Amino acid sequence: MTAVKMDGKELAAKVREGVAREVAELGHVGLATVLVGDDEASHVYIAAKHKAATEAGIDARDVRLPADTSEGDVLALIDRLNNDSEVDGILVQLPLPSHMSETKVTYAVSPAKDVDGFHPLNAGNLYLGTPIHVPATPSGCMELLHAYGIDPSGKEAVVIGRSEIVGRPMAMLLMHANATVTVCHSRTADLAVHVRRADIVVAAVGRPGIVTADMIKPGAACLDVGLTRTEEGIRGDIDASVERVAGFLTPMPGGTGPMTIAMLLQSTLKAARYRRSLLAFPGS
């Protein structure tokens, strides 16, 4: 058995094409990104997001601030962006410098413009099963499952990782799709015991090769989110040997990563529809 490759690049291209068509119909759609400091990986991620946004016809505003910028100045900037009618979506690139509260800064973004889905209102609506803006990576994972005909309903799903960005929202999305969900993390006593039950595995802890072939139920769908740069190159949380056992497997790279950017663009488009009152934003 060799796992079917879940091609995130191909699916992301289709999503981005759809976004581009709808952006052209709407006219102006604006995305502002805020990057504070000199984190090398963050600069790479922002560049990729801006390239994709521009190609989709989105007006991408690139705001970069030095690492010693005060928290107050960043909050003031976000307030201006919240009130800027040309900006539909706002993304604050993490991590922020250590002298800032990431919670305080991300929560300052208007919920309607919070394309990352980090604001408590957006997180709360996801919890309640009425999602508004949802973090892009879990959204992309769900799109991949759908594209490959994998229905979570009635299946056992294991999410490895409990971050607010991937693990927790991923668990919520799978639960709302009627999967039976187990969330594993650094304190899980025997990871393999849980993973072996799973029809769907989502690995998102950033520990290269933590999921091995002997842990996988034959035919399971495995989605690898945990990109890590090593001396041997980019590695995921799922070991390459899993390909011999799994039914479906996202490649690393080229699996969940491209979908993350595509879903960010889709979220920005949704934010533009909220601003034009084409969609009713809760509480508005």
Crossing angle, helix 136-147 and helix 256-275, to 10 degrees? 110
CB-side neighbour CA atoms (13 Å) of 164:
13
User: Would 283 be classed as within a structural domain?
Assistant: no
User: Would 205 be classed as within a structural domain?
Assistant: yes
Dig out the tokens for 58 from the structure: 């989105």
**One domain, residues 162 and 239:** yes
Confidence of residue 283 (pLDDT cuts 50, 70, 90): low
**One domain, residues 158 and 222:** yes
Beta-strand runs (E) in 161-264: 180-184, 200-203, 221-224, 228-230, 233-235, 248-249
**One domain, residues 112 and 149:** no
CATH of the domain at 84: 3.40.50.10860
Active site residue 214: no
Write out the H or E segment, with its range, that includes residue 13: helix 8-26
Task: Look up residue 6 and give its amino acid.
Answer: M
Catalytic residue among 49, 113, 155, 217: 49
Confidence of residue 280 (pLDDT cuts 50, 70, 90): low
pLDDT tens per residue, range 237-258 = 999 999 999 999 999 889 999 9
**One domain, residues 28 and 69:** yes
**One domain, residues 245 and 141:** yes
Q: Are 224 and 256 in contact (CB under 8 A)?
A: yes
- pLDDT attached to residue 39: 83
**One domain, residues 160 and 60:** no
Picking from 37, 83, 29, the residue whose alpha carbon sits closest to that of residue 59 is: 29
**One domain, residues 105 and 139:** no
Residue 210 CA to residue 216 CA, distance in Å, equals 12
Catalytic residue among 93, 217, 237, 266: 93
Domain count within the chain: 2
Residue 151 CA to residue 154 CA, distance in Å, equals 8
**One domain, residues 61 and 143:** no
pLDDT tens per residue, range 87-99 = 999 999 999 999 9
Grouping H, G, I as helix, E, B as strand and the rest as coil, residue 217 is coil
Confidence of residue 230 (pLDDT cuts 50, 70, 90): confident
**One domain, residues 85 and 198:** no
User: Would 278 be classed as within a structural domain?
Assistant: no
Q: Are 177 and 156 in contact (CB under 8 A)?
A: no
Backbone angles phi, psi at 38, to 5 degrees: -120, 25
pTM, two decimal places = 0.93
CATH of the domain at 197: 3.40.50.720
User: Would 23 be classed as within a structural domain?
Assistant: yes
**One domain, residues 142 and 209:** yes
User: Would 36 be classed as within a structural domain?
Assistant: yes
User: Would 11 be classed as within a structural domain?
Assistant: no
**One domain, residues 68 and 141:** no
User: Would 6 be classed as within a structural domain?
Assistant: no
Residue owning tokens 């490759």: 5
| pLDDT at residue 279 is higher than 70 | no
Active site residue 266: no
Confidence of residue 278 (pLDDT cuts 50, 70, 90): low
| pLDDT at residue 12 is higher than 90 | yes
Catalytic residue among 114, 116, 199, 239: 116
Dig out the tokens for 78 from the structure: 């976000």
Residue 176 domain boundaries? 135-257
Active site residue 270: no
pLDDT tens per residue, range 48-101 = 999 999 999 999 999 999 999 999 999 999 999 999 999 999 999 999 999 999
pLDDT tens per residue, range 98-156 = 999 999 999 999 999 999 999 999 999 999 999 999 999 999 999 999 999 999 999 99
pLDDT tens per residue, range 20-38 = 999 999 999 999 999 999 8
User: Would 274 be classed as within a structural domain?
Assistant: no
**One domain, residues 43 and 155:** no
| pLDDT at residue 227 is higher than 90 | no
